[in-house]
């Protein structure tokens, strides 16, 4: 078994340094919320695995190679000879404005099935991390996500669900109808403040949604607040954590880094305050460096930003 298993779609992200309309070089990178979390956890020395479906062509091999290079176990990834890699184009439109174009409909990753995931779940994991992106990809991917959540929860694994609402994949109403019941399988639920009402009744406020989740057996609800840090709710009450002050250069991946930090803290047996501190520390690394996951720390680098008050030379 592994410490953490994540399931989802890994994408090829093609980044341009300027407007896409004028052309110029595109550079391929591995992208995807779930694979970001697996890398964050693996860099901290835990045994992490990624499961899903990738294209059987060079682009799929590229994704597997990147994950392997980061120490993520991809032994249970299924290779699909009939479907293409999901793509995203990241266009740096201005210095601080990035636009995204997706080409992921009909991709290998979106064709995920329950059978694809059976070997990875059977191998066992302490933590299963899922996002609200995967069930939006297709009916079979939704069934696979729901099956994985139920199976892992019954086997005693800690199931973590990050809402990760993607408006290009489904409406808020469609997401709410799937994610509200799915969250009932999770022990840890992660959301941004504006995603919370996808986990309860339409228009419900934060205290109401959180109370509903805790009633349904969720043990920890994490609310991400960007540069303001995060809040955690448990049955014992509420804990707030400030963000680590850094100069933000690229905020993509902050939420995934935060979740990776939290789950690493869980695997290390840290208390809630310690888990949150590691979460905001990883979030700070993500925003303070370029790329979705490239700037995430190894364990010996955690101290660079942990407890940091202001700029420094090391
Ligand atoms: P994304 O979708 O871009 O990955 P998100 O909306 O899921 O991000 P955020 O709330 O933006 O998640 O960020 C997650 C965590 O990262 C925050 O809780 C915080 O700890 C850290 N973080 C985000 N922005 C900053 C910042 N400007 N400075 C320091 N830390 C930050």
Ligand 1: nearest atom to the Cα of 162: 7
Ligand 1, atom 31, residue with closest C-alpha: 227
How many CA atoms lie within 13 Å of 250's alpha carbon, on the beta-carbon side? Answer: 18
More confident call, 95 vs 82? 82
Q: What is the mean pLDDT of the chain?
A: 96
Ligand 1, atom 3, residue with closest C-alpha: 252
Residues 6+ apart with CB under 8 A from 118: none
Please check the confidence at residue 312 and state whether its pLDDT lies above 60: no
Domain that holds residue 58: 2-300
Please check the confidence at residue 311 and state whether its pLDDT lies above 90: no
In a domain, 231, yes or no: yes
ipTM of the complex: 0.97
In a domain, 275, yes or no: yes
Ligand 1 pocket test target in 40, 98, 221, 226 with most atoms within 8 Å of CB: 226
Give the Å distance between the CA of 133 and the centre of ligand 1.
18
Predicted local distance difference test score (pLDDT) of residue 95: 83
Hey, what are 98's tokens? 């990035």
The neighbour count for residue 268, using CB atoms within 10 Å, is: 15
Q: Confidence band (pLDDT; 50, 70, 90) for 16?
A: very high
Predicted local distance difference test score (pLDDT) of residue 134: 98
Please check the confidence at residue 53 and state whether its pLDDT lies above 60: yes
70-94: average pLDDT: 97
In a domain, 314, yes or no: no
In a domain, 116, yes or no: yes
Hey, what are 107's tokens? 């991709």
Give the Å distance between the CA of 78 and the centre of ligand 1.
32
Predicted local distance difference test score (pLDDT) of residue 313: 55
Give the Å distance between the CA of 80 and the centre of ligand 1.
34
Beta strands (DSSP E) in 163-210 are: 188-192
Please check the confidence at residue 127 and state whether its pLDDT lies above 90: yes
In a domain, 250, yes or no: yes
Give the Å distance between the CA of 278 and the centre of ligand 1.
13
In a domain, 308, yes or no: no
Q: What residues are in contact with ligand 1 under a 6 Å CB criterion?
A: 192, 224-227, 229-230, 243-244, 246, 248, 251-256, 258, 280, 283-284, 287
In a domain, 119, yes or no: yes
28-34: average pLDDT: 98
In a domain, 103, yes or no: yes
Residues with catalytic roles = 256
Beta bridge partners of 220: 188
Number of domains within the chain? 1
Please check the confidence at residue 309 and state whether its pLDDT lies above 90: no
φ, ψ dihedrals at 26, nearest 5°: -120, 135
41-65: average pLDDT: 98
Predicted local distance difference test score (pLDDT) of residue 49: 99
Residue 22: which CATH number? 3.40.1190.20
């Amino acid at each position: 078994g592994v410490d953490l298993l994540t399931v989802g779609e890994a994408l090829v992200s093609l980044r341009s340094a300027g407007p896409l309309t004028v052309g110029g070089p595109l550079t391929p990178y591995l992208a995807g919320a779930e694979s970001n979390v697996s890398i964050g956890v693996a860099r901290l020395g835990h045994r992490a695995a990624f499961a899903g479906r990738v294209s059987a062509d060079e682009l799929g091999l590229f994704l597997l190679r990147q994950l392997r290079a980061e120490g993520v176990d991809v032994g249970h990834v299924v290779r699909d000879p009939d479907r293409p890699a999901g793509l995203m184009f990241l266009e740096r439109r201005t210095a601080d404005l990035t636009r995204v174009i997706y080409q992921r409909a009909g991709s290998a990753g979106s064709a995920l099935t329950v059978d694809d995931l059976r070997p990875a779940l059977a191998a066992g994991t302490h933590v299963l991390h899922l996002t609200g992106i995967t069930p939006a990809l297709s009916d079979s991917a939704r069934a696979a996500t729901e099956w994985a959540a139920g199976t892992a929860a019954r086997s005693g694994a800690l199931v973590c669900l990050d809402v990760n609402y993607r408006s290009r994949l489904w409406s808020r109403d469609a997401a709410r109808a799937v994610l509200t019941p799915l969250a009932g399988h999770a022990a840890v639920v992660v959301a941004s403040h504006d995603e919370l009402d996808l986990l309860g009744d339409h228009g419900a406020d934060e205290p109401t949604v959180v109370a509903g989740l805790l009633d349904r057996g969720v043990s920890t609800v994490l609310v991400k607040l960007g540069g303001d840090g995060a809040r955690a709710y448990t049955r014992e009450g509420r804990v707030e954590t400030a963000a680590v002050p850094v100069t933000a250069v690229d905020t993509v991946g902050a939420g995934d880094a935060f979740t990776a930090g939290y789950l690493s803290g869980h695997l290390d047996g840290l208390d809630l305050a310690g888990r949150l501190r590691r979460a905001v520390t990883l979030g700070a690394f993500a925003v303070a460096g370029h790329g979705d996951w490239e700037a995430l720390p190894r364990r010996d680098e955690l101290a660079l930003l942990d407890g940091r008050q202001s700029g420094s030379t090391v």
